[in-house]
Structure 1
Amino acid sequence: MGKPKLQIIVLFQNLGEKQAYYARSPAPPLSGALVAGLTPPTVEVELLHEMVRPIDYNTDADFIALSFMDFCAPHAFEVAERFRKIGKIVVAGGKYPSTFPKEVIPHMDSVVIGEAETVWGQVVEDMVKGKLKKVYEAPFAPPLDNIPPPRYDLVEPDFTVPVVTEATRGCPYKCSFCQLTIKSVPFRCRPIKDVIHDLTAISQLPFYKRKMAMLYDNNLGGDMGYAKELLKEIAKLKLWGLGTQFSFDCLHDDEFIDLLAKAHCGMAFIGLE
């Protein structure tokens, strides 16, 4: 008898749109590959990004893990209902379930609240044993050290840039319009060696896909000293291209800009706070 199977689905549809413009990204979201990397070997893991392929309700997976943001919560509830009707166990996590768990709990078998690293292994163990709890709540703002690399090998080949990770979480600013302020957490930095480990855990990828990466930080420049040291290490990797995100004020730091160039940063989302 083989292992039970877990399918991680990152939802990305909204109000019936079949191919929303924001689904044309060359890189996947981080959540699915990250959770796959956290998953213990007691289950077989499959990763599906709705950005590039439709949900298969005939999957042979025993368990379904849904990751979604607020804009597709109604869609997530419909997906969960369809899977549960055919006997699948459905777990939800992500920004929206963590921020508004009372809205999500009635639609799922289980909901993970908060950052998954410290609780996901227990969730999977309980699923396999048939002892799944209705709610798992992670500790608030846990340390970010020793997080395993995302499972880039499970990312669909449709994505040109499968190497995605994050160096920091949160943001030191409290802008009124930002979703981070709804349930804010402190700004934290990962050990630089762990970030570099993520960016080099790429042996199973084609060569050209090893040479580009995205840092999905909310604000890479939240700790400028840390950001500069990180960029110095990334420059040693000789990537063809790097993408990241930071706040507008970072542009006042000439050394930071020079280090972005040396790290071959070719794309940046800039917050005009």
Structure 2
Amino acid sequence: MTKRNKLLLINPLSTKRRGLIRDQQSIFPPMALGIIAALTPEQWEIELVDENFERFTYREADLVGITALTSQVTRAYELASIYKEKGISTVMGGIHVSMLPDEAAQYADSVVIGEAESVWGTLIHDFESGTLKKRYQGNLLPLVDSPFPRIDLYHPGYVFGSVQTTRGCPMSCDFCSVHTFNGHQYRARPVKDVVDEFEKIPQQKVYIVDDNLIGYTKKSADRVLEICREIIRRGIKKDWLCAASMNIADHEEVLHYAAKAGCKMIFLGIESELIDQLESA
């Protein structure tokens, strides 16, 4: 019987500062790794190690994938180095790696720049054929066929589940990385896909991870309204929170149906109370 390749996915945790992990109720699952798992061929064995709950111990693997924010990246480089020294191929991705790929390339065999959906299949094929490249540049794809994350691989200790309905932002605020990483186009997933995934989440509490759920157009506001009405129609009883810009206050109907659909909190982005500062940003 042919041996299955094993993909080890790691969500690292800084060993210097605990940050949000001090409050277990403030963290949510590593969605990027869940999506990578969903994109990986079925014949692969996949294990996800999440340092939010368990300190890493060495596991055998054929390929290792690590994601990292800047706050996690030092630990991510430590873990990548362990496998690289043993001759096991290591791939790194995420926002920090995408912004500083030359730095990450010192620790990993391969780096994925940007969103991985467009390149992960190619990367797996290259690995299997022994032609893994140093870099893979992701393209921004429509989210119409975006895969559902493999939530079955997440640690069961998460209080919050998570779902993503959009990516990208048309703004170019100089303090923000969203338009650089996810592009200027506001890309939306189909409402049915969003609510199907929302319904499958085992947790009672859900964080919608969109950078700005409401968007900036009537079309995007109507879409949020459609999501809320579908949650209500299906009788899904979950509490959820999200992030949005101040213009959500202009959409009273959206706020009404969001509350009926289970919304308990909205994080508002108030970058400045001064108009001239907002315009200059």
| Band of TM-score, shorter chain | 0.7 to 0.9
1:49 — aligned with what? 50
Change (3 A) 1:183 1:241: closer
Letter in 2 for 1:111: V
CA displacement at 1:123 relative to structure 2: 1.3
Alignment length, in residue pairs?
262
CA displacement at 1:22 relative to structure 2: 4.6
CA displacement at 1:182 relative to structure 2: 4.5
Separation (CA, whole Å) in 2 of partners of 1:6 and 1:178: 32
Runs of 4+ residues deviating >6 angstroms: none
1:216 — aligned with what? 209
Separation (CA, whole Å) in 1 of partners of 2:147 and 2:213: 20
1:55-74 matched pairs, under 5 angstroms? 55-57=56-58, 59-74=59-74
CA displacement at 1:261 relative to structure 2: 0.4
2:12 — aligned with what? 11
Question: Which consecutive unaligned segments of at least 5 residues does structure 2 have?
Answer: 272-281
| Contact kept in structure 2, 1:10 and 1:49, CA below 8 Å | yes
Letter in 2 for 1:91: V
Separation (CA, whole Å) in 2 of partners of 1:231 and 1:12: 34
1:105-254 matched pairs, under 5 angstroms? 105-139=105-139, 141-161=140-160, 163-183=161-181, 185=183, 186-202=185-201, 205=202, 209=203, 211-222=204-215, 223-237=220-234, 238-254=236-252
Q: For each residue in 1:222-253, what CA deviation from the matched residue of structure 2 results, as whole angstroms up to 9, or x when unmatched?
A: 12122222222223342221121111221232
CA displacement at 1:29 relative to structure 2: 3.0
Secondary structure at the aligned position of 1:116 is classed as coil
Separation (CA, whole Å) in 1 of partners of 2:146 and 2:157: 26
Question: Which consecutive unaligned segments of at least 5 residues does structure 1 have?
Answer: none
Aligned-pair identity (%): 32
The alignment's TM-score, normalised by the length of structure 1, stands at 0.88
Secondary structure at the aligned position of 1:118 is classed as coil
The structure that has the greater radius of gyration is 2
The alignment's TM-score, normalised by the length of structure 2, stands at 0.85
